[in-house]
Structure 1
């Protein structure tokens, strides 16, 4: 093994103009910035992006913005104004990718339809990330993460069987759509790099479809078995045992014993060798069928013992399990510490701020730590200067509310 060397990343040389707001589209562009893309974040001059006003906020400073838009240069531009549109179009030949998430048809109304964009830059990749896509009866509807989650079927799977479906206290739908956005950018960049004559593309990314895409078995189990997958609390309906358990000292932990070998070791761990011969538990389908009995037995064993004793036994028998971590647990865990899973982003307000590390890691390559997300219009002079605009021109545009 050789020591890692600082790298500009696999997406070095790729220039992305991020016009998207809030989280999903910007998250995709941020993932690309993590791997070397030059991402310019475009906002309205009034700094009205909702993420700048969303908790957590400290002393008026938006903390989520700082980590969600890390590694980007920030400019302001009102593309709805004629001079703003003109300036955007003049810059587009220098960009490889444009990311936007306005309601379907909005860019067209601003005179920024796909035909115009591709006339200006035939190799431009335009990522249109909307709630429901560019076509279909819902294409013009507004959407947020919880709407994508509920409509995709995701939320129907969370919660207790006799209770309400539950949302997570984090916009999972935005995060998943952001991953698909980054994947789409990387895929299109790979295509263009492989063919100098290739044309750009219009990518129609529906956040609802992105979340539905990860729920692979739902359509096939419904068609072939007539099943609608239910809410099962912390259990799963496809393997057992798999649940959240509680120790005698009140700690909750998640345990999964999906494979046959793992189940046999679990029987050893909890001192129940007879379960290996029990006809109710002989196969995974039988364990799923009889999970009430199996879970009751396991819960009883766990609730009679402190977590340190349970943990030692499960580790000894190589059972997949973990205490349910909070951010405090993550920060204190020796594995996260050893891998430097939390990195510090240089920041002008706080010196530095903590954020998750760059994912994935590539052997022999060490990426520089990105800077925190930009202030409103922080890089106007720098970015517009690259396009030949001087101080007097920028002042005039600022006075007109264009930047």
Structure 2
């Protein structure tokens, strides 16, 4: 690890070996790469990472894989083979962090238990991201985003009234776990930077627990009030009014008037000042208690007006709201354009590809735009050459299926 430049990302000098697959753990490593970490993506020589085969794909080019693994160098290695295991252990001295998401015990079976990893590098941070963690009755189970979204209690909150819970058309559980992965890396690297004598640790990150962690009120609500929160469609039962509304011309939009001040302004926007004095709606607890009656009034008013008129009234009264955007709306929005929320990543196959910007922004620091994810084994010669492996030896390892 080296000290970072003030003009580089805060994780400059941190080296991460990402041997995880698909999305959750790799997305955490990608976020670190966005902020300056040198991330090497390790794949099996056959390139069977499932994300390389998920849509969107264009002419055989794995577009999702490219943008999800941006900013990384790529190597191939089969650590299940003895030569591959030895190569991995030889490399670890050059890395600060190892990220993996295999089923619990997999690395141990391959002779890469935590004691062996720390003998290779005593300061190594090993982040293990699995569906259910390293301990407990479910630790050996395979985990996928929709499974731990369901088990965490998250999906239960997305049901329409009386209907089946609904998943979103995106594995949000993976990306939430990825954020915790990036946080784990940053936190442990801060500890290592502060103490040259500090030892590496093993991070046990459960994707199910990561999702559950963001659902703060569920346990206390259940214990203290005897309530098990359930889905209410788009209606919020913890604040009011807040729902998905539809204008007279068929535009769906989200509106929130949680605070007392915003609620009073909404009454003015709807030309219904008398609602502010109604004892059912004069405080937030009263509005929540009478949420269905309140929402019938609010949604009824919206249904009588076109979205242009609604927008004019809500903006004039400073009411938080937004039309439900699709990607075309995001691309066309002047605010997103002004902030360059979509950046273009240099790509060898397509020239460049659009992707979300680096988050968060650091004022006064211009971060370099990362390139798309590497081709399979693209940096084998570079990475293994730094270990002193010659081109001939690398070719032999390739022929043996080790790299």
Alignment TM class, shorter chain as reference: over 0.9
In structure 1, how many angstroms separate the alpha carbons of the residues matched to 2:208 and 2:130? 9
Q: CA deviation at 1:7?
A: 3.1
In structure 2, how many angstroms separate the alpha carbons of the residues matched to 1:365 and 1:389? 37
Aligned position for 1:203: 203
Aligned position for 1:263: 263
Q: Any conservation in 2 of the 1:7–1:368 contact (CA below 8 Å)?
A: no
Q: What's the CA shift string for 1:214-272, capped at 9, x where partnerless?
A: 00000000011110001110011100000011011100000000000000000000001
Alignment of 1:277-296 (within 5 A): 277-296=277-296
Q: Any conservation in 2 of the 1:242–1:257 contact (CA below 8 Å)?
A: yes
1:223 corresponds to 2:187 = no
In structure 2, how many angstroms separate the alpha carbons of the residues matched to 1:195 and 1:7? 23
Aligned position for 2:346: 346
Aligned position for 1:246: 246
Q: Any conservation in 2 of the 1:6–1:366 contact (CA below 8 Å)?
A: no
Aligned position for 2:190: 190
Q: CA deviation at 1:70?
A: 0.1
Structure 1 portions without partners, runs of 5+: none
Alignment of 1:227-238 (within 5 A): 227-238=227-238
TM-score if structure 1 supplies the norm length? Answer: 0.98
Q: Any conservation in 2 of the 1:157–1:232 contact (CA below 8 Å)?
A: yes
Structure 2 portions without partners, runs of 5+: none
Q: Any conservation in 2 of the 1:6–1:368 contact (CA below 8 Å)?
A: no
SS of residue paired to 1:108: helix
In structure 2, how many angstroms separate the alpha carbons of the residues matched to 1:27 and 1:298? 40
In structure 2, how many angstroms separate the alpha carbons of the residues matched to 1:230 and 1:32? 35
In structure 2, how many angstroms separate the alpha carbons of the residues matched to 1:199 and 1:310? 59
Q: What's the CA shift string for 1:156-185, capped at 9, x where partnerless?
A: 000211100110100011000000000000
Alignment of 1:125-164 (within 5 A): 125-164=125-164
SS of residue paired to 1:177: helix
Q: CA deviation at 1:304?
A: 1.2
In structure 1, how many angstroms separate the alpha carbons of the residues matched to 2:296 and 2:224? 31
1:335 corresponds to 2:335 = yes
TM-score if structure 2 supplies the norm length? Answer: 0.98
Aligned position for 1:171: 171
Q: What's the CA shift string for 1:284-310, capped at 9, x where partnerless?
A: 111112121211111121111110110
SS of residue paired to 2:17: strand
CA RMSD of aligned residues (A): 0.9
Q: CA deviation at 1:8?
A: 2.2
Alignment of 1:1-400 (within 5 A): 7-400=7-400
SS of residue paired to 2:267: helix
Q: CA deviation at 1:6?
A: 9.2
In structure 2, how many angstroms separate the alpha carbons of the residues matched to 1:294 and 1:288? 9
Q: Residues 191 and 6 from structure 1, CA distance in 2 versus in 1: closer, same or farther, beyond 3 angstroms?
A: closer
Q: Any conservation in 1 of the 2:237–2:291 contact (CA below 8 Å)?
A: no
Q: Any conservation in 2 of the 1:6–1:367 contact (CA below 8 Å)?
A: no
In structure 1, how many angstroms separate the alpha carbons of the residues matched to 2:50 and 2:122? 32
In structure 2, how many angstroms separate the alpha carbons of the residues matched to 1:215 and 1:304? 36
In structure 1, how many angstroms separate the alpha carbons of the residues matched to 2:235 and 2:387? 57
In structure 2, how many angstroms separate the alpha carbons of the residues matched to 1:343 and 1:21? 25
Q: Any conservation in 1 of the 2:159–2:230 contact (CA below 8 Å)?
A: no
SS of residue paired to 2:93: helix
SS of residue paired to 1:295: helix
